[in-house]
Structure 1
Amino acid sequence: MSEPVNRVRRALNEAPADLLLDRVADTLAGAYGITRVQLLQVDYRLSALLPLGDGETVTSPGHPAWRCFDHQTPIVADDTAYLPVSMRGERRGVLRVAPAPGDPGTLHELAEAATALAHEIAAVSAGTDVYRAARRSRRLTLAAEMQWEMLPGRSRIRPSFSLAGQLEPAYAVRGDSFDWSDDGERVWLSTINGTGEGVAAAMLTSLATYALRNARRAGLGLADQAALADQAIYDLHRGGQHLAALLMDLDLRSGVLTVVDAGSPRLVLLRDGEVRQLPLEAQFPLGMFEATDYHEQRFELCRGDRLFVVSDGVIDATGQDVRYGETALDRFLRRTGPMEPLDAVRSLIGDLRAFVAGDLVDDAVVVCLDWTGPQD
């Protein structure tokens, strides 16, 4: 690692939480003669790159900033360099710097500085609202604020898997959500198709999410995780409220997928360009009855398999009195094969917005998980 990049890292480590970009700008000016630095963060809808501070919002898909975000590679245009601000697959935005360097080595060092900035933003965001507030083009509803704060992230990449998810309508989502965790050997993924309206729906989903996390962190298997969350919801609501969930546990070495379908969203497998729905055993939603006994199913994935989880808000989306439906969904999913999971999720959401001619009315969640095989 070069000395200028080390200086950027030291400056970030020592900077107050709200002055990360200022310290990066000062260090880049001294090391490379950079005179203009701007951070563009992707918004909650994945449809705009919003400046931190003054500046113009970037929405045009052909803009160099979007090309940098989409392809996750430095882009140079009109004496300006655009650098991915990403960490562990979580795409936070783009760093725009000028004048652009003339040699690839310096451009690579600037890209390393942008990655360091992404890590530091993640580290300080729990203690400041500066970066979260700048990521929204309009106010989040209270329910949406709760849902986004629960997420572990929107995307994740490791050598053996990659995943991404999105909540819609992004600024007003109520009960739909997802959660994930990995330890290098397994990845756990839960997707919730919430019920109810507003804050009440968000609170029900929060209870289920934290109950599932509590059971997972205690080392319980999927069936017991479902049972614990089921009991937590039933104890509070006595069957008056319940929600659908899909729990998955993927062994990253063997590709064995363990599933519990608790009245779940739809699980679709994309293999060799063909779409198929896995035959899940439908079981009761979480919280519907007291002491439900849940059962696990196992499937063997092939290297390169892609899984999509979609809630009924996707299939039931309506435009001009026409339902989006499973046929249109399957047709679109086939086209996502070459895309990275976040791009596939974003493309599907974009297709749904075009279909309904605006934001979705009902909650929808889309999650995409790729298994790339064991990595020795």
Structure 2
Amino acid sequence: MTVGRHEDDGDADRAESFGEMLLGGLLDHVHRLPPDRIGPALADAVARMGGREVRILLQDYGQRNLVPLAGDGLEDGDAVPIDGTEAGRCFLTSRAVEVPVADGVRVHAPLLDGGDQAGVLAVTLDAVDDDVRRLLRRLAALAAATLQTKNGYTDLFFRARRGEPMSVAAEIQWSLLPPLAMRMSRVAVAGVLEPAYDVAGDSFDYALNGDVLHLAMIDAMGHGLDAATMATVAIGAYRHARRISVELSEIYLFMDRAVAEQFAPDHFVTAQMLRLDTGTGLLQWVNAGHPAPLLIRDHRVVRRLNSPTTLPVGFGGDQPRVSEVALEPGDRILCFTDGLIEEHESGEEEFGEDQLIDWVNQLDRADREVHAVARDLSHTLKRARGEATSDDSTLLLIEWRG
């Protein structure tokens, strides 16, 4: 409906347009919908704008496939590989992809919430113009935000994303994690954990508080539930210290005390804590037993961010020294756990940091989003290691956009 004006006062006509009616109808009722009705409600909205063959495709935990969400009005079928498909291209670029088909146009729209790429909304329409693109983009954004909100009330979306049986330790770790990706105007973050369905001691966390991005990566010793439990305590202590705004070096002391009080003297957690001022690009960090992060500039590793280290968390090390570096716009920082470089077959050499750097230089050559680079890097490194994952291996990629 075209927006007009009142003749008496010149105020804009508040009559509802088609797009407002469609989105408003969802917004008015979505808070009352049970999680299993979100997909059907979206399919109904798409049908009202002339769309059909609706699929909601969610990223699996291994970050290899897009799996369909089941529901009335939604197309079912096999999972779609992320690599080499139109839906995967939409997912990796965070941009809509349109494909002519026999009966119209197949549109893939990214499901974006806070910069986290949850998956893809795929629909078929007779034709597409700018009005349709705008409305579909807004429907996808509403769907992504709603799925994120309802995820806290259900196992439905978790089950859809799980492509393999998952260990109890991995269940604990995934429940600890923030979204795997965040993309804001000044900063972007993306993380990957391997093996996705059996990870135990590795974890990471981040929070954007005003202009300051806080990050931590940890690796609890051992495997299985013991490691997952230790990681839970370490991340909990990190969040507590971060939220009461203690200094970066003191965060280590909070984590160290929490682990030491709960576990035997020979138990420990390696850790790395970072603080990025997104206004100035000043990066500060503390290292407690992790490999040094890598600074990537103009798509190449230019240096290791070596720094004084302290003992792993739980061993009662001294208050650590804080290191810092001034980033340039577009710089990326790669943090990783030792499982990424120490993997080797019996009697063979370790994969090593030099090989890691070679692969980073090959894979980070184009202007791609950090979540696509992090995913590609993790999977490529796993193949280069002969698909071996005897230890958890985690990477965290941060970009300062300036």
TM-score bracket, normalised by the shorter chain, equals over 0.9
> Partner residue of 2:98?
76
CA 1:97–1:319 in 2, change beyond 3 Å: closer, same or farther?
farther
C-alpha distance after superposition, 1:221-243 (max 9, x if no partner): 11111101101111122422001
In structure 1, distance between residues paired with 2:64 and 2:150: 24
CA contact (8 A) 1:101 1:107 kept: no
1:9 deviates by 3.2
1:221 aligns to 2:210 (yes or no) = no
In structure 1, distance between residues paired with 2:250 and 2:126: 55
In structure 2, distance between residues paired with 1:232 and 1:295: 20
CA contact (8 A) 2:69 2:160 kept: yes
Letter in 2 for 1:22: P
Q: Which has the higher contact order (CA 8 A, sep 6+)?
A: 1
Q: Secondary structure at the match of 1:323?
A: coil
Match for 2:381 among 309, 333, 352? 352
Letter in 2 for 1:214: H
CA contact (8 A) 2:310 2:318 kept: no
CA contact (8 A) 1:267 1:308 kept: yes
Letter in 2 for 1:364: S
In structure 2, distance between residues paired with 1:282 and 1:25: 54
In structure 1, distance between residues paired with 2:388 and 2:30: 37
> Partner residue of 1:51?
68
Of the two, which has the highest radius of gyration? 2
In structure 1, distance between residues paired with 2:126 and 2:341: 45
In the alignment of these two chains, the number of paired residues is 371
CA 1:113–1:281 in 2, change beyond 3 Å: closer, same or farther?
same
Letter in 2 for 1:366: L
Question: Which region of structure 1 is more displaced relative to structure 2, 305-314 or 72-81?
Answer: 72-81
1:105 deviates by 2.1
CA 1:196–1:274 in 2, change beyond 3 Å: closer, same or farther?
closer
Q: How do residues 215-364 of structure 1 correspond to structure 2 at under 5 angstroms?
A: 215-272=241-298, 273-289=300-316, 292-318=318-344, 321-335=348-362, 336-337=364-365, 338-358=367-387, 360-364=389-393
How large is the Cα RMSD of the aligned pairs?
Answer: 1.8
CA 1:187–1:100 in 2, change beyond 3 Å: closer, same or farther?
farther
1:275 deviates by 2.6
> Partner residue of 2:73?
none
> Partner residue of 2:38?
20
1:67 aligns to 2:89 (yes or no) = yes
Percent sequence identity over aligned pairs: 29
1:212 aligns to 2:212 (yes or no) = no
CA contact (8 A) 1:11 1:23 kept: no
In structure 2, distance between residues paired with 1:251 and 1:99: 45
1:106 deviates by 0.1
Letter in 1 for 2:190: A
Letter in 2 for 1:47: R
CA 1:100–1:10 in 2, change beyond 3 Å: closer, same or farther?
farther
1:68 deviates by 1.0
1:174 aligns to 2:200 (yes or no) = yes
> Partner residue of 1:120?
146
> Partner residue of 1:34?
51
CA 1:162–1:60 in 2, change beyond 3 Å: closer, same or farther?
closer
CA contact (8 A) 2:111 2:143 kept: yes
C-alpha distance after superposition, 1:64-102 (max 9, x if no partner): 111111111111222321111111111111111123532
In structure 2, distance between residues paired with 1:184 and 1:45: 31
In structure 2, distance between residues paired with 1:89 and 1:323: 35
CA contact (8 A) 1:168 1:365 kept: yes
User: Structure 1: which 5+ runs fail to align?
Assistant: none
CA contact (8 A) 1:180 1:188 kept: yes
Match for 2:185 among 159, 164, 178? 159
Letter in 2 for 1:184: G
1:60 deviates by 5.9
Q: Secondary structure at the match of 2:206?
A: strand
Letter in 2 for 1:7: G
Question: Which region of structure 1 is more displaced relative to structure 2, 152-161 or 349-358?
Answer: 349-358
> Partner residue of 1:134?
160
TM-score normalised according to structure 1 size:
0.94
1:89 aligns to 2:111 (yes or no) = no
Letter in 1 for 2:395: V
Letter in 1 for 2:189: L
CA 1:319–1:109 in 2, change beyond 3 Å: closer, same or farther?
farther
1:355 deviates by 1.5
Question: Which region of structure 1 is more displaced relative to structure 2, 250-259 or 202-211?
Answer: 250-259
In structure 2, distance between residues paired with 1:83 and 1:67: 10
In structure 1, distance between residues paired with 2:126 and 2:153: 33
> Partner residue of 1:7?
25
Q: Secondary structure at the match of 1:270?
A: strand
> Partner residue of 2:133?
107
Question: Which region of structure 1 is more displaced relative to structure 2, 268-277 or 225-234?
Answer: 268-277
CA 1:63–1:35 in 2, change beyond 3 Å: closer, same or farther?
same
CA contact (8 A) 1:269 1:278 kept: yes
